[in-house]
Structure 1
Amino acid sequence: MESKSRRRPAGAAVLREGVTDAIRAAVVDELAAVGYGRMSIENIARRAGVGKAAIYRRWPSKLPIVLDVVSALALYGMPAPDTGTLLGDVRQLIGATARLLEHPLAAQIVPDLLAEAARNPEIAQAAHAAMRHTQRAVAAVVVGHAIERGELAGDTDVDLALDLAIGPLYWRLVMIRTERPAGYLDALAAATTAALSAARLS
């Protein structure tokens, strides 16, 4: 007879990764289909093919689920670049961000969350933390490497660097929703690098 110490834990002690992934995928589909306001735990469970209890074992309500998914999307395909130059790193960072914002699902989800954030301070604060902090961590690595190489001043503001690199993309792709012209990312990377480097020379 198998001893108790070797028995597989049951219930909440076991959170199968496959189930968690299915729930996250269902959340993305549900957000894209109906938006945050109409999203429900029941519909997420139905899309994922699980019971509601499986969701509540992982998240207490729909807001933490969405923030978890948004954080994952913010980091999707965005490892900290290390090309050896500030220009190369900035180009990779904005390229990854552009691919994310131009993804069909993200194009539907991000504007909806921004609209919800305007109505709900809790969502605004949580979404800001989820999206801003993840991208800021990547920007901090880029700035840190550039400082080590002598390309940027030691007191370079990471938040300003992120605003310069990413802000125009959010404005063009999320706010006014216009296509970027050919060469736009290269031009944006060059302009961002020039602006940040100018501070070192001033």
Structure 2
Amino acid sequence: MAKAIGIVEFVSIARGIYTADQMIKASEVDIVTAGSSCPGKYIAIVHGDVAAVKESIEIGERVAEDYYVDSMIIPNVSPELFPAISGVTMPERIQAVGIMESFSIATMILAADAILKAANVQAIELRLGNGIGGKAFFTFTGSVAAVEASIEAGKEIAEEKGLLVNAEIIPSPSDRLIQCLL
């Protein structure tokens, strides 16, 4: 399993595609996802061992030139993050639901990793920029106490960067809402 994840965000779709190609050719990484996001940006997310991800992200930052927006690397990333990005999570059961929303894709990935590591919660979905104006959000479930602790861990990261939109906790979600979340 991958030990690290990295992301580079671009303001040019064309440069983003070109750079993503350079990132994976130069380093032993795999793409988690690469594609356009609102509003007209491009993201490339890679994973692999820490050294390879670091090398790939450095290449991405350099090749991006003036089209660079943001980047980050998470060594020892929570393995639950990958299925959440891909939208293939299926929690055993839905308890309390936590929702965190960020103005930044990279910040939301950092916050989601912290959320998953803070307490015993399960990912539902990590939505990155598409169809939501370039913002990102993360939904997850667990006991009320675990969701509260996880929200605090995620908020700390997003507030520190000044990119938190909102965070909410639903202690006992309606079954009809749960159907929409899954």
Taking structure 2 as the reference length, what is the TM-score of the superposition?
0.29
Max radius of gyration: which structure? 1
Larger strand proportion of the pair = 2
